[in-house]
Amino acid sequence: MHLPKYQYKTNPDFLDYEFISEGPKGSIKKLVRFSKIEGNVFNPGFGDLDELTGEISDTIVSNNNNSHIVLATVAGAVHDFTIHYPKAIVVAKGSTHSRTRLYRMGITNHWHEISIDFNVYGLKEASWELFQERRDYEAFLIHRK
């Protein structure tokens, strides 16, 4: 996708993607961390980085007026991660219903570009289905075609 995004740096195994969110609240360090669930299934935890503990807070609302740039950066990290792990299955769910809805809107708004490289599924009533625009989902599953 050709959207504005922050530059990130990653660790040698391409599991952590760190970047700085810039906005009216200042510079906020963010981290996308891909954690293996089982087999080739990974979860991208995302949020503000607590530099003391190395933990991610996915409940803080930064309100740095740059959510589109931040989400594009996270999408870029997913894209890069799946280049390095082409058989990976990425399962994502927001920490709240509204964040999951925000992810759905991002997928919908960029569906044409996303669908070129990825198969996308939505979790609806304990069953995975091919992603459909304007459907509410509990989580998303993506993998490279």
Instruction: For the chain, give every domain's residue range.
Output: 9-144
- Asked whether the predicted pLDDT for residue 85 surpasses 80, the reply is yes
Confidence band, pLDDT 50/70/90 cuts, at residue 52? confident
* Single pTM value for the model: 0.89
Cβ-based burial of 144 (10 A; exposed 0-12, middle 13-18, buried ≥19): middle
The pLDDT tens digits for 107-126 are 999 999 999 999 999 999 99
DSSP H helical segments within the chain, as ranges? 67-84, 97-109, 111-117
Q: What is the pLDDT of residue 13?
A: 97
59 has pLDDT over 70: no
pLDDT at 93: 92
Determine phi and psi for 31, rounding to 5 degrees. Answer: -145, 135
Could you read off the pLDDT of 6-15 as tens digits, one per residue? 999 999 999 9
CA 124, 137, 49: angle at the middle one, nearest 5?
130
